Structure formats: C-alpha cells, structure tokens
Structure 1
Amino acid sequence: MTGSRALDGIGTLARLGLAAVWITSGLLKAVDPAQTYVAVRAYDVLSRTAVGVVAGVLPWFELALGLLLLAGVGVRAVAVLSAGLLLVFLAGVTQAWVRGLSIDCGCFGGGGAVAPGQTQYVQEILRDVGFLALAAWLVVRPRTLFAAERRLVTSGLG
C-alpha cells in the first residue's frame, strides 16, 4: 500500500467513524424528542424557546452530517460543520462542569439532571476531543476511499 493510499484508508476510517457517531447520536435523540428537550434544557444556558428549537433541529442536523459522511459527499465541508458542532458541545459540557451542574450530557440520548457524583465530565470531554480529532483529520485531508464525491470528480460530474 502506498503512503497516499494508506492516508486515504486512515481518512476513510475517520469518515466512517464520525458518520457512525452522528447517525447514532442523531437517531437516539430523534426517537425521544421529549428527552432531548430535557437534555438540552439541563445545560441551563438557553431560553425555553431556544431549547425547543435546538432540541428539535439537533437530531436531524446530526443525522444529516452522518449520512453525508457515510456517503462521502462534501467531506471537508461536513468535517468543518462537525468540528464546529463538537466545539459547541465541548463548550457546553465544560461550562456545565465549571458551574457545578450535575447532568448527563445527553450526547447519545438520555440526558438531564443526575445525582451529584454521577457526572462523567472528563470522559465526555475526552470523547468529544477524540471525535474532534477525526473531524480535524478530514478537514486537513478529506480524500477517502469509497466516497461518492471522489467518484463524481473522477467521472467528470463534479
């Protein structure tokens, strides 16, 4: 395997891994919109109206990111959007931790208030930093194997 092909393989794993994250988190939120509202509300930074908008849009935005990455369409742009969303998530978790809130992040469904000591802020932050690293790889090097956009470019349609 050439160096370029190996990097394409790493990128493919990053793309598919990040797609799996977004599809899983989006689906788990979409199937329980009431709990998604509770999770977003628990961060205590948005008005009730804004919480409703975020809770209503977020699952579908995550699903869209995941499906685009799965197909390999607009990989760099989707990676930039993913990185931005992950930075918002990191800021939300960090501010909740600093403020002493006892919440489950709701990142993969569920969420809301939990008993003191049950919050896993360090693990949540490290996990999101790992996801951010996948997005960063794809921003820097969006070329991956089995991507629809790659096939469109090589066929002259892109």
Structure 2
Amino acid sequence: MWIRIVSTVARVTLAAVWLVSGWIKFSDPTQTVVAVRAYQLLPSDLVRPFAAVFPALELALGLLLLVGLAVRPAAVASAIGLVVLIAAIASAWARGLSIDCGCFGGGGVVNDVGAWDYLSEILRDLGFLAASAWLMVFPRTPLALGPGSRTFSVRPQSTVAE
C-alpha cells in the first residue's frame, strides 16, 4: 500500500513541477529565450527553437503524469530532462557564470549567484530525478488512466459452460 502512496505523490509532484515550469516559460517566451541564452550551451541559431519547444515538452510531460497516461515513459523522459538540466546548471556553475537557472521563470544573467544557489538547484532537481526513478520502477498508481499505469485492472468474469 505504501508503494502506491509514494508513487502517487511522485506522479502528482512531477506533474505539478512540469506543468508550472512549462506554463511559466510558455507564457513568457522572451524571458525563456533570455534564460536559455544565459547558459551559453547552444549555438545562437538554436536558442529560440529550443526555448519554444522545451516548455511544450514540459507541459506534455506534466499532462501525461497528471492524468496517469504512459507513466513509465513519462518518468523516463522526465529523468532524461532532469539529467540535462542538472548538467546545464553544473556546467554554468563550473564555468563561473552568474545566472538564474530559469527553471520556474525568470532566468538569465544575474549578480551575486553563489555556490549555494547552484547547489540548491541541483539538489532540488536530484529530488525530482529520484521521483522519476521511483516511477520508472513503480509506475502504477490509483486514479491513473493508462492501462499500464493503473493499480488495478478490470477483468471480465469467466463463464463456466454448463
């Protein structure tokens, strides 16, 4: 029973993270471009397309997790996205950039970003990564709509021939 509870909390939490993060970025595309550019990881020709596509992917993942469709594949995609985000934040930190990650809006070059700022963002995302890993192993939760994601299945009654 406790596995179902942890899985449900992980699914709903990740759904909320992706939906909030994606919606904030989607509703402010100019700021999202600024945030992506601040990482200095993509060629300038790819910054705008990435900034346009990434929020849509976050929203799609959030919706899949919220309704419980394709929970395991959504958890895998979440884990991949989180590993990329953690690597990008670590890269910015290692290169001495002073940026706000832009994970939940804002983003871009800012002053006075210290080691704790980067470390706290990485630790937060590691927590979300742990939730993704949990859902890869235990994707079944109550109230999920996907057949491979529900904790129960309805089986037709077998009939005995007389």
Which TM-score applies when normalising by structure 1? 0.91
Residue 28 of structure 2 corresponds to residue 32 of structure 1? yes
Report SS of the residue matched to 1:146: coil
1:13 aligned partner: 9
1:122 aligned partner: 119
1:139 aligned partner: 136
- Is the Cα–Cα contact under 8 Å of residues 99 and 113 in structure 2 kept in the other structure? no
In the alignment, residue 30 of structure 2 is paired with which amino acid?
A
Residue 87 of structure 2 corresponds to residue 87 of structure 1? no
2:158 aligned partner: none
For the aligned residues, what is the CA RMSD? 1.6
Could you list the structure 1 runs, at least 4 aligned residues long, displaced by more than 4 angstroms after superposition. none
CA distance in 2, matches of 1:33, 1:69: 24
Of 109, 112, 118, the residue aligned with 1:113 is 109
Displacement of 1:116 after TM fit? Answer: 3.2
In the alignment, residue 126 of structure 1 is paired with which amino acid?
L
In the alignment, residue 48 of structure 1 is paired with which amino acid?
S
Deviations 1:93-129, CA, capped at 9 Å, x for gaps = 0000000000000000110000133571011000000
Residue 72 of structure 2 corresponds to residue 64 of structure 1? no
Report SS of the residue matched to 1:154: coil
CA distance in 2, matches of 1:10, 1:22: 18
Structure 2 stretches lacking a partner, 5+ long:
156-162
Deviations 1:36-76, CA, capped at 9 Å, x for gaps = 00000000010112111110001110000000000000000
Of 88, 93, 98, the residue aligned with 2:94 is 98
Of 39, 43, 46, the residue aligned with 1:43 is 39
Displacement of 1:34 after TM fit? Answer: 0.2
Report SS of the residue matched to 2:146: helix
2:49 aligned partner: 53
Report SS of the residue matched to 2:24: helix
In the alignment, residue 122 of structure 2 is paired with which amino acid?
I
CA distance in 1, matches of 2:102, 2:54: 12
Between the two proteins, what is the percent identity of the paired residues?
Answer: 54
Which TM-score applies when normalising by structure 2? 0.89
Aligned residue pairs total 152
CA distance in 1, matches of 2:84, 2:98: 19
In the alignment, residue 89 of structure 1 is paired with which amino acid?
L
